[in-house]
Structure 1
Amino acid sequence: MTTPDSERGHLPRPRTGRQESPEERADRRWAELLQEVRVAQTGSQILFGFLLSVAFMPRFAQLGAFDRGLYVSTVVLGALATGALTSPVAYHRIFAGRRLKPELVDAAARLVAIGLVLLALTVSAALLLLLRVATGSAASGWITGAVMFWFASCWLILPVQHLRRHDGKYTRPPDDPDTGSEP
């Protein structure tokens, strides 16, 4: 039976970060990225599928030029978001077996970030179109702006504020590649 270091009079060693090889780090980051992207992928694909069906509804023919243009822009944004958010699959297939996992993770992470921006723009445009058609009100633009401020708050402002608040309380080792400061 082993006894903890503290019972033997030894102080536990301070944790300085994960002790993982570059390959283990890449595997962990890849798994985390895939978990994160599953949520966004599903949402973007459902929204995109819905948008594709709108053109076949009877009321679509009654839309004015602005709303038709907004619809086309929304569909294009949805397609771009779906492409970016599913890109890790293509990257993985092309990079598989080439011992380039860190490069794969970095490239896929950048495309997922772009995909999230495109998804937010798609949601914004779809919401504006829906509110314009449903209400015909000029308030639809204000409502859409308020919802997009909520997205920006949840996806960007709050996380950045949280990081700033905790910046001095925990610092990663300077050689931690997850911080982006690796040589």
Structure 2
Amino acid sequence: MVSLLSRVPTPTPPSTVSDHEIPDEDDGNLTDLLGETRVLLSGVQTMTAFLILLPFNGGFSEVDGDWRPVYIITFVCALLSMVLFTAPAAHHRIHHPVLDRRGFKMLSTRYMIAGMVPLTIATFMVTQLVFSVIIPIAALAWVSAGALAVLLLTMWWFIPLRRKRTTRKT
């Protein structure tokens, strides 16, 4: 019978660790960041693809002139969030190996949070665009999109910020 301890790898002595294999007790955060980026990026890429195709759709020419600026702002917000979400990968690839992993994680976290702002705006605005086409009553379309905005702000911003503040106090 093989014991569980015999399967545990022995740590590499510090003298044999290469520059690109710098151990970091906080590597779990980097893995979390990567997973979060994958989730957010797939969503923003889907939204951006939808927005890229929209003007080439035959019905887009019928879109009221008042809605075109809304479309442009939505598209720019989606692109901006995509740029911010992909920036850590570009930094990592260009600056490989990353020797300051803690600094890289802090910068990447800032990019992710910054990317959430235009993503929140784009998600609300694309919802408003879609609802304005589907729901014939303008007020109902605005109320529906507003309900989503409240949900987004609550789930993406207020609850996490409140939990962060509560966690720091304890």
Range class of TM-score, shorter chain: 0.7 to 0.9
1:150 aligns to what? 151
2:44 aligns to what? 44
Q: Distance in 2 between matches of 1:112 and 1:167?
A: 21
Q: For residues 106 and 50 of structure 1, do their structure 2 counterparts lie closer, same or farther at Cα, with a shift above 3 Å needed?
A: same
Deviations 1:54-107 (A, max 9, x none): 111111001111111111111111110111111111111122125121111111
User: How far is the alpha carbon of 1:51 from its aligned partner?
Assistant: 0.9
Deviations 1:19-54 (A, max 9, x none): xxx941353321111111110010000111011111
Contact 2:92/2:98 (8 A) holds in 1: no
Q: Distance in 2 between matches of 1:52 and 1:143?
A: 24
User: In the alignment, is residue 139 of structure 1 matched against residue 140 of structure 2?
Assistant: yes
Q: Distance in 2 between matches of 1:91 and 1:75?
A: 24
Which piece of structure 1 moves more, 85-94 or 130-139? 130-139
1:28 aligns to what? 28
SS at the partner of 2:51? helix
Letter of the 1:115 counterpart: G
Unaligned 5+ segments in structure 2 are 1-21
Which piece of structure 1 moves more, 92-101 or 159-168? 159-168
Q: Distance in 2 between matches of 1:132 and 1:99?
A: 50
2:69 aligns to what? 69
Q: Distance in 2 between matches of 1:75 and 1:164?
A: 33
Unaligned 5+ segments in structure 1 are 1-21, 172-183
Percent identical across equivalent pairs? 24
Higher helix share: 2
Contact 2:98/2:104 (8 A) holds in 1: no
Alignment of 1:1-183 (within 5 A): 23-136=23-136, 137-163=138-164, 171=170
Q: For residues 105 and 164 of structure 1, do their structure 2 counterparts lie closer, same or farther at Cα, with a shift above 3 Å needed?
A: closer
User: How far is the alpha carbon of 1:142 from its aligned partner?
Assistant: 2.0
Contact 1:51/1:75 (8 A) holds in 2: yes
Q: For residues 97 and 164 of structure 1, do their structure 2 counterparts lie closer, same or farther at Cα, with a shift above 3 Å needed?
A: closer
Contact 1:95/1:101 (8 A) holds in 2: no
Letter of the 2:129 counterpart: L
Deviations 1:121-155 (A, max 9, x none): 11111011111122242222222111111011111
Q: Distance in 1 between matches of 2:23 and 2:80?
A: 31
